């Protein structure tokens, strides 16, 4: 199966052969391998890709409520009895949007969803992966800590900072002058909002793990709480951007499928991933939601949206 360089060569060759046509070589090659993946697994495939790595300053690269329109388009017309393999490549985003999208997909596919993380799914992307019955990962794949962000500020960090301030001021009241300018940056009720966001995300992930990944397991609650505790450990993870390896995910108890166990599947997954990364790096696209039949919603810089029927 093609690697990064051969995929680029195939795209360039197709573009050269059809230079006068309106069709995109990027689309042609990508959809060819999406279809091959579907043929290999017999399952529906939807790819959810953000271009935040190559276009870090583009607004709405994260998970938003608007993304549900893309998922609705991608689900339409599929044989939902075949389940879903969901590619996830995202920096995370809105908890509310994530919860809504997960609920929709679970209803459409009766919880028969496998997450595929070929490179990285962070924050709410991790929450989305934990809502599936298993997660397919490679040796280079990573999830991220579950750490809600409010105005770009980590909620766990705010709570820890307030706790530290309380301890230090209680032990040495004069330190209030040190903490005053720091704490004054936070608006009223902000601490409560952070605490509520943490409780919301923790409860959501625990519920998903118990009802989907560990459905029917007598140890479901124990396993789910262990995983949530590890993924939300602000002190242990140290930073919102920490990359959690496949081995660590497996050791903490997540249902992980190693894509290397099926060489053909591995080649197809990585080829599809290369196709999306080429598209996000070399076009104006910054978010793509697409199924194996070619139905897609593609968001481009300057808010151009292209809907492609199957």
Q: DSSP characters for 110-163?
A: TT-EEEEESSEE-THHHHHHTTSSEEEE-TT-EE-----EETTEEHHHHHHHHH
The string of pLDDT tens digits covering residues 104-116 is 999 999 999 999 9
CA of 165: how far to CAs of 9, 106, 110, 197, in Å? 57, 42, 47, 21
What are the φ and ψ backbone dihedral angles of 117, each rounded to 5 degrees? -115, 90
Terminal Cα-to-Cα distance of the chain (whole angstroms): 25
With H, G, I as helix, E, B as strand and everything else as coil, classify residue 104.
helix
User: What is the span of the domain harbouring residue 46?
Assistant: 4-144+243-308
* pLDDT reported for residue 164: 87
Distance CA 61, CA 72 (A): 18
Looking at residue 82, which CATH number applies to its domain?
Answer: 3.90.226
pLDDT at 21: 45
- Concatenating the DSSP letter of every residue in 195-218 gives HHHHHHHHHHHHHHIIIIITTT-T
Integer Cα distance of 246 and 273 in angstroms = 17
The CB density around residue 161, as the number of other CB atoms within 10 Å, is 18
Q: Residue 10: what pLDDT?
A: 63
Beta carbons of 148 and 95 less than 8 angstroms apart: yes
List CB contacts of 290: < 8 A, sequence separation 6 or more. 30, 31, 34, 46, 47, 74, 296, 297, 298
CB 282 within 8 A of CB 29: no
Among residues 98, 97, 91, 143, the alpha carbon closest in space to that of 117 is found at 143
pTM: 0.85
Q: What 8-state DSSP symbol labels residue 46?
A: E
Judge whether 110 lies within some domain: yes
Residues of the chain with pLDDT under 50: 19-22
DSSP state, 232? Answer: T
> What is the greatest pairwise CA distance in the chain?
75
Q: Sign (positive/negative) of CA torsion 210, 214, 219, 225?
A: negative
The residue with tokens 């705010």 is: 158
Burial 232-267 (b: 16+ CB within 10 A, else e): bebeebeebeebbebeebeebbbbbbebeeeeebbb
180 found inside a domain: no
Question: What letter would DSSP give residue 93?
Answer: B
- 205 lies in a domain? no
What pLDDT, on a 0 to 100 scale, did the predictor assign at position 22? 46
Q: Does residue 77 lie within any of the structural domains? A: yes
Q: What is the DSSP letter of 53?
A: T
Return the pLDDT at 25: 83
Q: Does residue 234 fall inside a structural domain?
A: no
pLDDT at position 14, please?
A: 61
- Residue 103: the pLDDT is 98
Q: How far is CA 17 from CA 27, 219, 250, 275, 293, in A?
A: 14, 57, 45, 18, 23
- Look at the chain and report how many structural domains it folds into: 1
State what percent of residues in the chain have pLDDT above 70: 87
Q: Which pLDDT score is estimated for 197?
A: 86
In a domain, 105, yes or no: yes
pLDDT confidence of residue 129 = 98
The answer to whether residue 193 is domain-embedded is: no
Within-domain flag for 185: no
């Amino acid at each position: 199966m093609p690697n990064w360089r051969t995929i680029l060569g195939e795209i360039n060759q197709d573009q050269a052969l059809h230079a006068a046509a309106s069709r995109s070589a990027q689309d042609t090659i990508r959809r060819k391998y999406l279809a091959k993946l579907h043929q290999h697994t017999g399952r529906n495939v939807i790819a959810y890709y953000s271009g935040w790595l190559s276009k870090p300053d583009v607004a709405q690269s994260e998970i938003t409520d608007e993304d549900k329109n893309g998922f609705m388009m991608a689900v339409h017309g599929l044989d939902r009895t075949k389940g879903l393999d969901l590619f996830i490549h995202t920096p995370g985003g809105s908890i509310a949007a994530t919860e809504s999208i997960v609920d929709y997909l679970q209803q459409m596919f009766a919880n028969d969803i496998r997450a595929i993380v070929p490179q990285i799914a962070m924050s709410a992307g991790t929450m989305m992966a934990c809502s599936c019955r298993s997660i397919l990962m490679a040796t280079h794949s990573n999830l991220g800590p579950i750490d809600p962000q409010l105005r770009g500020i980590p909620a766990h960090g705010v709570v820890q900072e307030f706790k530290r301030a309380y301890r230090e001021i209680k032990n040495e009241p004069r330190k209030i002058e040190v903490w005053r300018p720091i704490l004054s940056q936070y608006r009223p009720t902000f601490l409560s909002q952070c605490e509520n966001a943490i409780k919301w995300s923790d409860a959501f992930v625990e519920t998903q793990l118990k009802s989907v990944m560990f459905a029917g397991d007598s140890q479901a609650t124990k396993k789910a709480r262990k995983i949530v505790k590890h993924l939300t450990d602000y002190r242990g993870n140290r930073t919102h951007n920490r990359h959690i390896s496949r081995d660590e995910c497996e050791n903490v108890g997540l249902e992980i499928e190693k894509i290397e166990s099926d060489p053909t599947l591995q080649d197809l997954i990585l080829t599809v991933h290369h196709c999306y990364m080429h598209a996000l790096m070399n076009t104006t696209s910054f978010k793509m939601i697409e199924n194996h039949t070619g139905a897609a919603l593609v968001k481009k810089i300057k808010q151009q949206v292209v809907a492609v029927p199957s």
